Amino acid sequence: MPRIRSASKEPPLQPPAGMAESATWRPANIRRSLPVGVSDTMADDAQRLLDELNLRHDAFEQQGQVIKQLQTALQRAQATNQELALVADRATDAIMICDAQRCISWVNPAFARLTGFTLTECHGQLPEELLSGPHTDPATVTRINQVLAQGGSIERLEICHHRKDGEPFWVSRSVQPVHGPDGQIDRYIEILTDIRDIRRANTAHAKRLEAEVALATKIDFVSGMSHSMRSPLNAILGFTQLLNMADDVQLPEAQRRQINHIHTAGEQLLSLLDQALAYAKLDDKPLTIRPQRIELSVLLREIRSTLELDAQAHSITVVVDCECPPVWADPEHTRAIILNLLSNAIRFSPQGSTIWISGKMTPDERMGIVEVRDQGFGIDQGDLPRLFQPFTRLETTPGNPAGNGLGLAVSQRLAELMHGSIDVTSTLGRGSVFALRLPLAEGPGSLKFNATRGNEPAVMLPPLRVVHIEDNALNRSLVEALFAAYPQVRLYSAETAAEGLASIRSIHPDVALVDINLPDGSGLDLCRRLRSQAEFKKLPLIALSADALPDHIAKALQTGFNHYLVKPLQINRLLQILATLPSARAAPPTH
């Protein structure tokens, strides 16, 4: 709005057009032409009135700016309130606002979801009266009231409250007093954090610890019992053997039979102790399971030879037919499982029958299967679910062969620890089939030696200089036999870490095969020394070890080994790795 100008600054008044200045045109005519009610005095004060109007105009402009500033502040406050409302609405923790008397005046949606109470239902209620129940600790409630009455605050106090439907739930509760302008507390802000999942996890962890302690106690007890019972068993078995060595004059036949019964019972008790101790330790995976590559065809024939005398004593024929590729399992435990299955088949089969042991792959080529098929008496379908339970002996078998009921339970648990299983199918009067499933060591399409091409290797190697550091003579002989088919490969063998390091420094090989456990040090230390030298930083190093623990393999690779092969040696895998290495530059003469 423009300011009003003073009349004194306007051009002087002129007579009307066509009228000459005369006596009839004088300034007095102005006064006579003023509006009705405006006196000559007011006309004379025009300048003062104009100044007053300008002052009022400036005041109005200042008020307008203040109003705009207030409007902007109000918009900002509204936006902040909307953001705070959004935060409160989306917060996962339950929030309460209570007045100075600690009566609830507002709750967020999370509070309603956690407790089941709506704002209308809890408005004006005390939190302790609303949420307390049979599981709420009165001492904790008293502590909260005392601290707040003294003007203090509560920080993450765990307490059990109850929902509207009576269900208990645990929260971590925090209460903060808010002071007004006069310094007095005029409200409280409370936050309830749901900790039910955390408490469940802590409870589960505590139960696991208790189970581990119980397992350790059980193992210690069984171990102690086994150790204590072996001494008297040693005496029983020893003296029965001495008595059996006496001639017929000193020991009549009837007493000899009785002594044999005592000796047999003692051996059964010793076997029971061994299996009970093994069963108690089955959950200790790192100590009992050492998976390796197993050639099933070799293992099955070895097991048949082991039990050949038992089979002949029962006039039983054992037939082995295996077309299964290698499996990945613990050799010792795999052998124990198959021995147990085959010995059971021999014991429960009629004389003159046949037992078939076959090895094959599953249709998806992911698992290997060892089947033990007998022509025994079979197992009733109702007894199959109990078959793998500890100390279970079925009484339906004619003759009731001796056993303690632990063999199949131990075998099943061992198979599970090796990521396998044992299945059984049976028909009364027609025999049973026990199938051991174990993961294959190699997937479909793995490179294998081509048996149809005579002695020609399936994997071609470039000219290489190889240093092999191994203290076991048989293992060195195996590697020497492997490279005998590759005249372009120069092999240098060493028995100790010191000899191996000296060979590497003098020969500068294309690759080094290093055993981890050496008589004068660790292969890991040898790897660190080589990697610390600039000339050997990129030397391909392949670890060969019987240690198959995943964390030990990872440690070796982190130390600097390029590859880690588990014994028994994966020959095809080793050849594939060597085939990717560059050719040797100029191989020095063989020492």
| pLDDT confidence tier of residue 379, bands split at 50, 70 and 90 | confident
User: Which range, of 64-78, 114-128, 395-409, averages the lowest pLDDT?
Assistant: 395-409
Half-sphere exposure of 211 (CA within 13 A, CB side): 8
Q: Which residue has the higher pLDDT, 546 or 272?
A: 546
Sorted by where each begins, the domain ranges of the chain are 1-86, 91-194, 200-280, 294-439, 458-579
pLDDT at 400: 47
pLDDT at 15: 55
Q: What percent of the chain has pLDDT over 70?
A: 72
| pLDDT confidence tier of residue 586, bands split at 50, 70 and 90 | very low
Structure tokens at 162: 């109850």
Backbone angles phi, psi at 202, to 5 degrees: -65, -40
pLDDT at 226: 63
Q: Which residue has the higher pLDDT, 154 or 211?
A: 154
Residue pair 459/468 in contact by the 8 Å Cβ criterion: no
In the predicted structure, residue 508 carries a pLDDT above the cut 70 = yes
| 3-state class percentages of the chain: helix first, strand second, coil last, to nearest 5 | 45, 20, 35
Between CA 153 and CA 170 the distance in angstroms is 20
User: Which range, of 143-152, 379-388, 548-557, averages the lowest pLDDT?
Assistant: 379-388
CATH, domain range 200-280: 1.10.287
Across the range 346-363, mean pLDDT stands at 89
Between CA 237 and CA 235 the distance in angstroms is 6
Residue pair 188/173 in contact by the 8 Å Cβ criterion: no
Q: For the segment 426-438, what is each residue's pLDDT rounded down to a tens digit?
A: 888 788 999 999 9
Q: What is the mean pLDDT of the chain?
A: 78
Across the range 475-498, mean pLDDT stands at 87
In the predicted structure, residue 564 carries a pLDDT above the cut 70 = yes
pLDDT at 393: 57
In the predicted structure, residue 136 carries a pLDDT above the cut 70 = yes
pLDDT at 474: 75
CATH, domain range 294-439: 3.30.565.10
Between CA 424 and CA 341 the distance in angstroms is 11
Q: Which residue has the higher pLDDT, 578 or 29?
A: 578
Q: Which residue has the higher pLDDT, 521 or 22?
A: 521
| pLDDT confidence tier of residue 216, bands split at 50, 70 and 90 | low
pLDDT at 245: 67
In DSSP notation, 157-185 reads EEEEEE-TTS-EEEEEEEEEEEE-TTSSE
Across the range 532-538, mean pLDDT stands at 92
Q: What 3-state class would DSSP assign to 549?
A: coil
CATH 3.30.450.20 correct for 91-194? yes
User: Which range, of 158-162, 275-279, 315-319, 498-502, averages the lowest pLDDT?
Assistant: 275-279
| pLDDT confidence tier of residue 285, bands split at 50, 70 and 90 | very low
Across the range 251-268, mean pLDDT stands at 77
pLDDT at 585: 43
| CATH topology for the 458-579 domain | Rossmann fold (3.40.50)
